[in-house]
Amino acid sequence: MNKYYFSAQENRLGENVSIYDAYPEYDQRWFHWNDYFVSERRRNPNSAKAKLYLKIINGQFASLDEAYVEIKRLTKPTERGKSLKNVKKKVAQKTYAQEKYGEAFVNNNALVSAVKSFATDVAFQEVSQEDIQLKIHELTEQHSLDEKLTEDQINTLIMLCERRVEKLESLGRIEAQLLEQDDDAKSLLYLWVKIRRHYEVGETIVMSEKEWAAFGSISKTKVKPLLKTLSNKLGALKLLQSGKAGSSTGRASKYQRLI
């Protein structure tokens, strides 16, 4: 942060302002954090953290944003077991989609993800088809600068958006079952509605226990029991990879929406 933000020209806090000046309450604490990191780096010099540190001090990132992208990539859970099978299934689905749509297929993950996020945001908002088309063109300009999409590819994205909105707005039998649960019925229903609001059937959900609690507006103690009910009792979710606690070795849990 000190290298890529406080030393950058766009730093709005003023020239020659360091991280220590901006956060004086943490002036002494960084020694503890640094000692912890150095000790870990000595124990495991080939760890992802050590490699990231070397990239930073060797100037291999142009900005703090690039560093965060690399951090996100390095902390992504390793796919194993059910999670790995799910990834392979997604690859097969993408290959099938390429064959199905042919030249109309859009091979741009960032653009497709942006379209899906937009569809999630406008679900239940009664957005017009014209507004969808305008937004798709806007997203295309943002995420496909080097490649101009054909009209067929644009139509593929529009259909993807409309189909996702329709799926997110649809209701099913699971809500009625949730209301019949004696314990924490309201919390369970709210959590499930939030899941349905943001994730389609078949999509994976990667969150830590803390993130689940914030997502569902519930206490951390309720996270595991509610997810267990949705997974084991109702069959609405499938646990692909269990989470693991830990400040440096922790990982988020990974679920798949089944219904």
Pair (187, 202) in one structural domain: yes
* β-strand pairing of 237-241 with 204-207: unpaired
Domain boundary among 35, 51, 74: 74
Residue 225 burial by CB count (10 A; 0-12/13-18/19+): exposed, middle or buried?
Answer: middle
Higher pLDDT, residue 8 or 178: 178
Is residue 9 pLDDT above 60, yes or no?
Answer: no
Pair (59, 110) in one structural domain: no
Pair (88, 50) in one structural domain: no
Taking all residues of the chain, what is their mean pLDDT, rounded to a whole number? 79
Pair (90, 103) in one structural domain: yes
Q: Print the domain residue range for 208.
A: 174-257
Domain boundary among 169, 184, 200: 169
Residue with tokens 């798709």: 136
Is residue 10 pLDDT above 60, yes or no?
Answer: no
Q: How far is CA 226 from the centre of its chain?
A: 21
Residue with tokens 């933000």: 5
Pair (188, 153) in one structural domain: no
Contact 218, 48 (CB under 8 A): no
What is the distance between the alpha carbons of residues 128 and 135, in angstroms, rounded to a whole number?
11
Pair (251, 184) in one structural domain: yes
Is residue 6 pLDDT above 50, yes or no?
Answer: no
Burial 59-94 (b: 16+ CB within 10 A, else e): eebeeeeebeebeeeeeeeeeeeebeebeeeeeeee
What is the distance between the alpha carbons of residues 161 and 139, in angstroms, rounded to a whole number?
12
pLDDT tens profile 47-91: 777 777 778 777 787 777 777 777 777 666 666 777 777 777 777
What is the distance between the alpha carbons of residues 203 and 194, in angstroms, rounded to a whole number?
14
Residue with tokens 């924490």: 184
Residue with tokens 């569902």: 216
In 123-208, alpha helices (H): 129-143, 151-169, 174-179, 185-198
Q: H helices then E strands: how many in the chain?
A: 12, 3
Count structural domains, the chain: 3
Half-sphere exposure of 69 (CA within 13 A, CB side): 7
Q: What is the CATH number of the domain that holds 211?
A: 1.10.10
Contact 200, 164 (CB under 8 A): yes
Q: How high is the pLDDT of residue 171?
A: 59
pLDDT tens profile 229-246: 999 988 899 999 887 765
Pair (87, 70) in one structural domain: no
Residue with tokens 């996020």: 117
Contact 258, 195 (CB under 8 A): no
Give the mean model confidence (pLDDT) for residues 10-33.
Answer: 58
Which tokens in the block code for residue 122?
């406008």
Pair (211, 132) in one structural domain: no
Pair (243, 181) in one structural domain: yes
Q: How high is the pLDDT of residue 44?
A: 79
Pair (67, 101) in one structural domain: no
Give the mean model confidence (pLDDT) for residues 116-132.
Answer: 88
What is the distance between the alpha carbons of residues 187 and 113, in angstroms, rounded to a whole number?
29
pLDDT bucket at 1, cuts 50 / 70 / 90: low
52 Cβ contact list (under 8 Å, min separation 6)? 67, 70, 71, 74
Domain boundary among 142, 169, 196: 169
pLDDT tens profile 193-205: 899 888 988 899 9
Pair (189, 164) in one structural domain: no
Is residue 27 pLDDT above 60, yes or no?
Answer: no
pLDDT tens profile 133-163: 999 999 998 888 777 889 999 999 999 999 8
Q: How high is the pLDDT of residue 157?
A: 93
